[in-house]
Amino acid sequence: MPSSASTNTASLRARSVQPSSGSPPPPQSPLRAQTRVPTTPTTASKPSPLDSKPLSPTLSKKEEPSIAASQDKGSQKLGATGLASASALAASSVSAKAASAEAEAKAKKNAKPPIDMETFEQILELDEDDEDKSFSKGIVDNYYEQVETTFTEMEEALKHKDLAKLSSLGHFLKGSSAALGVTQVQATCEKMQHNGHLKGDDGSGELSKDEAVKRIEVLVRDVRGEYKEAKEWFDKFFAVGA
């Protein structure tokens, strides 16, 4: 039989292992407390917007050369595009001018002469067999003198707003031009004749003096251009200066 001393020793060990309900749990070893895994999961806290650092506006030294190179390439590309556009515009402008000049030359070629050839040929018949056309050329030269003198008188009459004189000069130059077939000058001088009588261009209606003067000022300017065109045609026909 076991001795009473052994029994008492075993009883004391059992009591030390099984703590009573009222006594606190024995203290844990520091190492065991540190390695103990918590039983309840912890929720990770979200970072505060204030904690996040803003991105630095400065670029790294490695990034700066690449961006500069890209900008240079972009500038070169834009420059090349601009030059191409400028060249295209210049070529287009040259083509447009050439087309305009060609159209103008074609229109001038196809345009009717400023002279009524049926009327002028009647003057040429008076030359008979004269190859120099001295008779018809003399008539044309005389016409030149009449026109220049009449233009001077018209300018003087305009200064004084002498409508009666302007009407008379228009009538005179209309007849001289009609004799040679200078139809444009003839038509303009006929309008001047009517305006001098305070009538419209076709001889109808009524005009005030100021309105008549304004119209005749325009007609004098127009008739100078029409005469210049007719003179160029006559000079070319008679080969003046050739």
Find the DSSP H helices in 57-133. Answer: 63-110, 117-124
H-helix or E-strand spanning residue 191:
helix 183-196
Asked if the model's pLDDT at residue 99 lies above 50, the reply is yes
pLDDT > 70 fraction of the chain, expressed in percent and rounded: 60
Closest residue by Cα to residue 173 from 100, 110, 230: 230
pLDDT of 85 reads 72
pLDDT of 94 reads 72
**How confident is the model over 166-174, as a mean pLDDT?**
98
pLDDT of 101 reads 72
Distance CA 31, CA 3 (A): 40
pLDDT of 129 reads 81
Asked if the model's pLDDT at residue 181 lies above 90, the reply is yes
DSSP label at 127?
G
Distance CA 164, CA 177 (A): 20
Hey, where are the domains in the chain? Answer: 74-111, 117-237
**What is the pLDDT confidence band of residue 109, given thresholds at 50, 70 and 90?**
low
Domain 117-237 in CATH 2.130.10.10: no
Q: What is the pLDDT of residues 149-160, one digit of tens each?
A: 999 999 999 999
Amino acid at position 1, single letter: M
